[in-house]
Amino acid sequence: MPPPQRGDGVDVEEAAAGGGDAEEIDECESDPNSGIFGDEGGDFQMRFLVLEERKHQRELEMMRLEEQKMQREEQNQMEQLRLEEQRKLREIEQMKWKEELELKMMEKTSRESPAVHASVISGDALRNTISRMSTEGIDVVS
């Protein structure tokens, strides 16, 4: 869009911001102390260019903020994935630990069962009986 010219009836601020009213236009044009935006030297196009540059800077800032937001979201997603992976690994380790504990408990229970206990006792008794036997020959009477 070409910059507005003096006498077009369009204020530069209105063109850049999309609004404004006629009283503001009159005040800017009649104020000689309005700094670089003064119209006394016919610097209307300079004023328009400065406003366009500000608009461009705002757009760049918005793009930068949007990029930062996307990066934060991506980092958050990566962190969530990492935490989920850690949680799964903990669950697997916990399941292994439970299985090992159950196996040990079953082994201990089977060693302490009455049947095992009785066989151990009878085995010990048999061994003791055999060890006490005399080594002399036994005469068999027919």
Return d(Cα 93, Cα 125) in angstroms, integer: 45
Tell if the pTM clears 0.85, that is, is over it: no
Per-residue pLDDT of the chain (142 residues; tens, 9 = 90+): 555 555 555 554 555 555 444 444 444 444 444 445 445 555 888 999 999 999 999 999 999 999 999 999 999 999 999 999 999 999 999 999 999 999 988 888 777 777 666 777 777 776 777 777 666 666 777 6
